[in-house]
Chain A
Amino acid sequence: MNFEILDSLFEPIVIVNKDNEIVYYNHMFSTFTKSSPRIIKNKKYLREIIATSFLSDMVELIFKTESATISKEELIDSLPDQEIHVIIKGAFLSEQSLVMISFNDITIEKNLYQKYRYQIDELKEIHHQIVQADKLSTIGEITASISHEISNPLTIASGTLELIKALFESDDLNSQKELLDSCLNDVIESFMRINNIIKGMKKFLHGNEDKKEYVAIEEIIENSTRLVNSQLKKSQVNLSVKNNTESNESIIYVNSLKMEQLFINLIKNSIDSINSTNGESDKSIQITLNETAMCYEILISDTGAGIPKEIQDKIFESFFTTKEVGEGTGLGLAIATKIIESYQGTLELLSPIAPTTFKITIPKMSTLSIASSTLNRDNDQEMNLNILVIDDEVKILNLFNESISSNNINVICASNPTEALNLIDDGRFNIIFIDYSMPEMNGDELAKKVRKLNYKGPIIYLTGKATDSKIKNDISSGLFNDHLLKPFNKEDITSIVKKWELGVK
């Protein structure tokens, strides 16, 4: 073969034989290695010019496997006066039994990448600080009402204790036993109330913000309304929640704290807006939860003053505020937008006049988890496991996600069978876990439907009972392959995934 044609290429290329001897190199190779042809001539082996062990290893590996191409990104630091980041491609030339190696210098790109990454990290850090500042000011604003909220149970507790003390001073303690009992319960209940308020506040400020989990929207709404409850009371605003979804658990995959922050910001804005009207008319906030095929939609409307036309475009900008100096950071909606966008959702102003309505759209869990798994996919040729978990319990989904989710294992979750069947269509799952008892459909019905879709991989039941003869029957008939007994833990999941990761034998 005539190698001269390689000289016209602008990529450094070198060809070596089995003994690492250089058979041919092009002009760019000598420029790339900063060694003149005279020097290269004096050297017999490639390793004398580029003394990097991975290169020799790679050449050896290609000869051994005779495989077509291997590409690797590496840092070469053995050349004089320079460090070069390169992508090395090695190709096996089967006719001549030689290996052709090409180098792609990506040092500039790499440096730029590192520079930008550094800047992006810096921006992220600043953003984090801003979010924290907003949370602190939120807490500051609601401190007044929180301390009121705490003082009530505290009064009950301390007062009741005084009553108990008085009871002990009385002569006939036994006849007062019932009263004493109810007094003690009052005290305990009061302290629980205080504890819950403080816990909620602490969680809001210091929770782990990067951890995503499966959580029901209903729960998020409940938690956020609890934190602003006293403010609602103070302003005599009536808050009602209407749920138009089929189930009472609209599960999404988000960070619950951030979502709570979003809701609190919106509800607080609504309260402020209602307060600014000074009217005696209807004061209410309505939260409506709807679902579409792909998304959940949450509408938050209030009977407040509305948003004037001239500022409608500005409300989502950072540091835009209509409140007086010191009352708001002007970050509420900007942060809310950031939060919802990080979950591929949106926040829009639906109606600027009463009832002022904001709409939050957030993709359903299945939609979201596919999106994130596609984004996170590793380009390596390593094995990628796709695991589908179908269960209506948030706890189980979270346990699976925490236990086995990693670089090359994608855990995709579905909370109901219909959702799951839509997902199975494209046949990319390696293992499917099915909860045996679900409200809509039994585990075996679902398994039959899954098999109808031509899925041949392992199906594993999650079940509470082991000795059920039906389960044994179904295993022998091949409807499903194994079962995991509830309650299970992290290790149980890991080991059963290990057992079935190569498919059905």
Chain B
Amino acid sequence: MSITLPKIKDSEKPAVLIIDDEVKICLLIKTFLEQTKLFRNVVVAENASIGMLKLRNDEFDLVIVDFQLPDKEGTYLVEMAKKSLKFRKLKFLLISGYLDNRSMINVINSGIKHVLVKPFSRDDLISKVLQILKLG
């Protein structure tokens, strides 16, 4: 492993929600994250509605969401979440294979600050996540 992982106290370990309609990608990201042993909880959801439900039922620090979901665009979920006080501190990471100009504007308008383009490597993912969560 080329990145040095920080040491975090058990009580401060973050929880992550992954939303992607490609179940294998969800599981892959989950595996990558769990291998680091830095996270309290990693949950997956295959579409925006299920993602929303899981988001309400539990506490998360980061949502990794695909841009194209079967029911809604990933940005929609972010916009919804931003309206609620509960999710004020929630961070978002958008993953996508391709963004044309129009979608890019949508992404910027929705207030997403972090984007990861597919295909990404394990190191890309981990370092991005650590950077967003201001760990390490």
How many B residues, CB 8 Å from partner?
Answer: 22
Taking A162-B122, A166-B35, A233-B68 as contacts, is the C-beta distance between A155 and B96 under 8 angstroms?
Answer: no
> Interface residues of A, CB < 8 Å — how many?
22
The reply to whether B122 and A234 contact each other, CB–CB distance below 8 Å, is no
Cβ-based interface call for A156 (8 A): yes
Contact with A along B67-104 (1 / 0, CB 8 A): 01011100000000000000000000000111010000
Collect the chain B residues with CB atoms within 8 Å of residue A424's CB. none
For residues 89 through 136 of chain B, which have their beta carbon under 8 Å from a beta carbon of chain A?
96-98, 100, 117-122
Q: Specify which of B35, B72, B118 lies most central, judged by the most chain A CB atoms within 10 Å of its CB.
A: B118
Between B22, B117, B119, the greatest number of chain A beta carbons within 10 A of the residue's beta carbon is seen for: B119
Q: A146's closest neighbor in chain B, by CB?
A: B98
Determine whether A160 belongs to the interface, using a CB cutoff of 8 Å to chain B. yes
- The interface-forming segment of B10-18, B25-33, B37-45, B57-65 is B25-33
Nearest A-chain residue to B24, judged by Cβ: A156
Is the Cβ of B70 less than 8 Å from the Cβ of A155? no
Within 8 A of B (CB), among A206-242: 233-234, 236
**Residues of A close to B32: CB separation below 8 A:** 159, 162
**Which residues of A from 128 to 157 have beta carbons under 8 Å from B?**
144-145, 147-152, 154-157
By DSSP majority rule, is chain A's interface helix, strand, loop, or mixed?
helix
Write the nearest CB–CB distance from A154 to chain B, whole angstroms. Answer: 4
Interface members, chain A 157-173 (any B CB < 8 Å): 157-160, 162-163, 166
A245 to chain B: closest CB distance in Å? 30
Q: How far, in angstroms, from A158 to B124 measured CA to CA in the complex?
A: 12
The answer to whether A160 and B28 touch across the interface, beta carbons within 8 angstroms, is yes
Measured between C-beta atoms, what is the minimum distance from A187 to chain B in Å?
11
Whether B70 lies near A151 (C-beta < 8 A) is: no
Contact of A155 among B28, B68, B72, B100 (CB under 8 A): B28
Determine if A149 and B35 form an interchain contact, defined as CB atoms under 8 angstroms apart. Answer: no
Chain A residues near B71: list those with CB within 8 A: 236
Q: Does A186 contact B (CB under 8 A)?
A: yes
Minimum C-beta distance from A143 to chain B (A): 8
B25 contacts which of A155, A162, A233 (Cβ < 8 Å)? A155
CB distance from B30 to the nearest CB of A (A): 11
- A432 and B22 alpha carbons, distance in the complex (Å): 52
B67 to chain A, nearest CB (A): 8
Complex Cα spacing A205 to B105, Å: 31
Identity of the chain A residue whose Cβ is nearest the Cβ of B96 in the assembled complex: A148
Give the distance to chain B from A156, nearest Cβ to Cβ, in Å: 5
Q: Is the CB of A147 within 8 A of B122?
A: no
CB distance from A235 to the nearest CB of B (A): 10
Contact B120 A144 (CB under 8 A): no
A156 to B25, CA, bound (A): 6
Residue contact A159 to B28, C-beta cutoff 8 Å:
yes
Is A152 in contact with B118, judged by CB distance below 8 angstroms?
yes
Pairwise interchain contact A163-B31, C-beta atoms closer than 8 A = yes
B100 & A158 in contact (Cβ 8 Å cutoff): no
- Ordered by A's residue number, 26 sampled pairs between the chains whose C-beta atoms are within 8 Å are A144-B98, A144-B100, A148-B68, A148-B97, A151-B96, A151-B119, A152-B22, A152-B25, A154-B118, A154-B119, A155-B28, A155-B97, A156-B24, A157-B119, A158-B121, A159-B25, A159-B32, A159-B120, A160-B28, A162-B121, A162-B122, A163-B28, A163-B31, A166-B35, A233-B68, A233-B70
Chain A residues near B (Cβ < 8 Å): 144-145, 147-152, 154-160, 162-163, 166, 186, 233-234, 236
User: Nearest 10 CB-CB pairs, A to B?
Assistant: A151-B97, A148-B97, A151-B118, A155-B119, A154-B119, A159-B28, A147-B98, A155-B118, A148-B98, A162-B122
